[in-house]
Structure 1
């Protein structure tokens, strides 16, 4: 784990064996519930309003998984969004000229950059502009270590198995429309994962009776784009689950459905492990001799 100062909470909680013995890695980047004092003191919002940005308790849905590594963020998404590129920054949020790169993407324009401006529609987080140093400090403390850790675990798994899969776990507000999806799988429209993996994951959730969609309205974020490189043997799939399946979205408390969702994730891991060689076929590269 990344080195933290004595006053800093570790950037993530990790369970399972991260030494390459398993070809899978599960991550929950948006379920962190640590709200630094500086965020609370400088925000115009209440804690409950800030928590609207969380993928609340997604980490708890992964608690039934043993052996396979699971990594969950500890810091709140309102402090830093691990599923955004490091340069997705809004210069207007800061009190001077940024000393790190900034790209005004559509997400930044919507207030949802790597350091978010909004916790939800119309919910402006900060009461004043942030110090310029905040951007670099937060990225160095949380963003780089997180993605380095994911990459390191995946590299060990690929070295041992010839391929590896990252499952990036999220929750979504209940979609609208006639029979909307309850599970949305994202593989960047086929660019971040082998199609057989997506088919297996979709089939798993459909067999459990849930409606499943691919890449709409969520096709995958920075994590799937950065780490999913199927031609190099590393696959990445984003899973979005309807919060209503396991959570009271107004009180942010788990309800009885959480047990079913937890069992679904545990069963998915078991199925993928059992089917892994068949799903990905032979290793897509020749390993150099030691």
Structure 2
């Protein structure tokens, strides 16, 4: 039964993150692209695109896909928006908020690049064809989000502002998928495989931050389980109990039910659970200056307590899909 760890995470739903598919796609559409391109000058000092730390000491895996703060110089230079606007969608400091929870034993996966450059919470080839000035291959499949400019390589940021001064070659987007999207998902999938192999069950806590959401009653936390499809009800209930017990206001699936990551990795019937956690930014930082304030430690503690409770729930109670 445990043979599924390798197979389930490499089935047809994972085909768009395999190296062979991406390389074949690049070679077919852009002949002559070498298998390994030299690094651009502005990436010489760049961090690795994804960092992973810890061992699967618990059945929980923590991930922060949108808190990366390395903005390549060429990207900023080519953008028609200033850096402060490019940073508007950044989940600032989420990897630091997760530090106390990580210390409890979960593995932790963290993207170092920003979502405005490459958004790993979208399917690999969810791209707006209107972004490009070269042919777009048939395997590009834009969803409504991609067509709106919010695909894996976004076209817009903050109040529908255009990011680029001109349309780009498709190769530019394809190489971001190869060099950023693919390593992130390969690393996350490996962490989940290791965790499930050790514990027979796993829970991905996909950590994000959000602006105030008055349309949803201004919750402090939004817990997204793809409307019940990505994790056991016992787990989201346990998370709610901890957070509400600490005085936080929570919402389920409104306005965020979970993106590609939650929907893709959450397979409760196979013992793979995924829960998206959105935290209100004003709880821990000044959204204008991006400076942390005194609420930071409170939110850090809340994440740790929630993680501890979820770990106990996974270890001591039968979790059914």
User: How many Å separate the matches in 1 of 2:170 and 2:125?
Assistant: 14
Whole-angstrom CA distance in 1 between matches of 2:216 and 2:181? 38
The residue aligned with 2:62 is 26
1:162 corresponds to 2:200: yes
> Partner of 1:287 in structure 2?
none
> Which of 203, 218, 227 is the aligned partner of 1:180?
218
Task: State the secondary structure of the residue aligned to 1:253.
Answer: coil
Whether the 8 Å CA contact 1:25–1:153 is kept in 2: the answer is yes
Instruction: Give 1:50's aligned residue.
Output: 86
Alpha-carbon deviation of 1:95? 1.2
Determine which of 224, 244, 268 is the counterpart of 1:230.
268
The CA distance in 1 between the partners of 2:38 and 2:299, in whole Å, is 36
What CA distance in whole angstroms lies between the structure 2 residues aligned with 1:4 and 1:259?
42
Query: Does residue 1:143 correspond to 2:186, yes or no?
Result: no
Q: 1:5 to 1:60 in 2, by over 3 A?
A: farther
Question: How far does residue 252 in structure 1 lie from its aligned partner after superposition?
Answer: 1.4
* Deviating more after overlay: 273-282 vs 108-117: 273-282
Q: Which residue of 1 aligns with 2:33?
A: none
| 1:103 CA drift (Å) | 2.2
Instruction: Give the equivalent residue in structure 1 for 2:12.
Output: none
DSSP 3-state at the match of 1:25: strand
- Once the two structures are TM-superposed, the CA of residue 100 in structure 1 deviates from its matched residue by 6.4
Match of 1:101 among 139, 157, 161: 139
Corresponding residue of 2:25: none
State the distance in 2 between where 1:53 and 1:42 align.
Answer: 18
- 1:177 deviation in Å? 4.8
Q: 2:76 aligns with which of 28, 36, 40?
A: 40
Structure 2-normalised TM-score?
0.82
CA deviation string 1:66-98 (max 9, x = no partner) = 132111110011110010111210111111112
Aligned to 1:72: 110
Q: How many residues end up aligned between the 2 structures?
A: 280
Deviates more, 1:56-65 or 1:184-193: 56-65
How far is 1:180 from its partner? 2.5
Is 2:265–2:273's contact at 8 Å kept on the other side of the alignment? yes
Q: Distance in 2 between matches of 1:121 and 1:174?
A: 15
Residue aligning to 1:288: none
After superposition, the CA RMSD in angstroms is: 2.1
Q: Which residue of 2 aligns with 1:196?
A: 234
Counterpart-to-counterpart distance in 2, 1:111 and 1:246: 29
CA separation in 2, counterparts of 1:210 and 1:197? 17
Q: Secondary structure at the match of 1:217?
A: coil
Kept in 2, the 8 Å contact 1:197–1:279? The answer is no
User: What is the CA–CA distance in structure 2 between the aligned matches of 1:112 and 1:247, rounded to whole Å?
Assistant: 25
CA deviations 1:158-177 (Å, max 9, x no partner) are: 12211000000011110115
Distance 1:224 1:28, change over 3 A: same
Instruction: Confirm or deny: 8 A CA contact 2:206 2:277 kept in the other structure.
Output: yes
- What are the Cα deviations for residues 17-41 of structure 1, in whole angstroms up to 9, with x where unaligned? 2xx3321101010101011122111
Q: Which structure shows the higher helix fraction?
A: 2
Tell me the SS of whatever aligns to 1:247. coil
Sort the Cα spacing of 1:158 and 1:147 in 2 relative to 1 into closer, same or farther, 3 A.
same
